[in-house]
Structure 1
Amino acid sequence: MTTNESQEEGEAKLPGVVNSPRLWINNGWTARVIKNEDGDGWAVEMFKDGESEPALVGPWTMGRDKRNPKPLDGAAFHTLVKTAAEVLRRHEQQLHALHHKSITVDAPSGRITVTLDIVPDEYDPHALLGASDDFGEQLAQVRVPPSFKLSMGSASAWIDNGFRRPDR
């Protein structure tokens, strides 16, 4: 069977598109059905193009013979792509939340938003402590250690100290 023989009706036969019972490649994604490492059964791995680690690994249904995996099809592939993309999106949101913090402080000059952006550089990890007014205009930015703890107290102290670099 050629790669395009198992394509669903109406699907274009494009270069780089593979649609076989255990491997589908399309739109920047690869789904591969593999033997489950934990013993019996099968699993499916979803890879985004260019990534070495799968975005998603999950159990895969057995076929009618209860020995071989159910073949991949268009509907399953599209569901897997949607699920894997959501996993990646949530992971990116989690990383963003881990590396970017924000606090709003009521100061005598008005509301000030203080941000801490951690730069996890392998050779020069650091963070940028920034302040902006209600209109989004930057008031200050200083470099701090990536271990700097942003809290209401540390933000207020930084503002009260004229936005000078904290000693911590």
Structure 2
Amino acid sequence: MTDPTTPIQEPTLWRDERWTARVIKNEDDDGWAVSMTRQGDAEPALVGPWTMGRDKKNPKPLDTAAFHTLVKTASEVLRRHEQQLHARLNKSVSVGVGSERIRVSLQIVPDEDNPYAILRAEDELGEALGEVRVPPTFKLSADSAAAWIEGGYQRPSR
């Protein structure tokens, strides 16, 4: 068995210590595709069309420039996915209470067996005012945050 971090530079397979590019037959048509998989990941981060070679039958061989472009593109795809997941799991609103603003945040913890969320309130200086565990389905809005604050930071009723 070969070390999965050993560099490979073949016409249809390139690998460095972090990424593997593999040119594959496109099952949907007569063309070719390339998949980019990060070491340790089960699924490719990116699969896209690949250019035909000069003979219009075989794929164009991978080269250094193409590999680096593919790494950059696949890394950007992963970064966007991470940003989207973070935005889906973390929400916040600001609520005016008297002359001050209170920031209320909801952080969802997507545990497979027991998912939950943390509802947290902080003043303008970042000092904690309250924190409770709530269901991951809790809907954070300016109204629900204000009601929680008015209720003395007690666990909201379902």
Interval containing the TM-score (normalised by the shorter chain):
over 0.9
Match in the other structure for 1:51: 41
Match in the other structure for 1:29: 19
**Do structure 1's residue 68 and structure 2's residue 62 form an aligned pair?**
no
Q: Deviations over 1:56-109 (max 9, x none)?
A: 000000000000000000000000000000000000011111110010111126
**TM, length-normalised to structure 1:** 0.89
SS of residue paired to 1:148: coil
Match in the other structure for 1:38: 28
Q: Counterpart amino acid of 2:108?
A: I
CA distance in 1, matches of 2:151, 2:99: 14
RMSD of the alignment, in Å? 1.0
**Do structure 1's residue 104 and structure 2's residue 94 form an aligned pair?**
yes
Match in the other structure for 1:117: 107
Unaligned runs of 5+ in 1: 1-14
CA distance in 2, matches of 1:27, 1:114: 42
CA distance in 1, matches of 2:157, 2:116: 14
Q: Counterpart amino acid of 1:155?
A: A
CA distance in 1, matches of 2:113, 2:124: 35
Runs of 4 or more off by more than 2 Å in structure 1? none
**TM, length-normalised to structure 2:** 0.95
Q: Counterpart amino acid of 1:119?
A: V
CA distance in 2, matches of 1:37, 1:110: 60
Unaligned runs of 5+ in 2: none
Match in the other structure for 2:148: 158
Q: Counterpart amino acid of 1:139?
A: L
Match in the other structure for 2:85: 95
**Identity across aligned pairs (percent)?**
66
SS of residue paired to 1:94: helix
**Do structure 1's residue 129 and structure 2's residue 115 form an aligned pair?**
no
CA distance in 2, matches of 1:94, 1:22: 32
How many residues were matched structurally?
154
Q: Counterpart amino acid of 2:13?
A: L
Q: Counterpart amino acid of 2:144?
A: S
SS of residue paired to 1:121: coil
Q: Counterpart amino acid of 2:130?
A: A
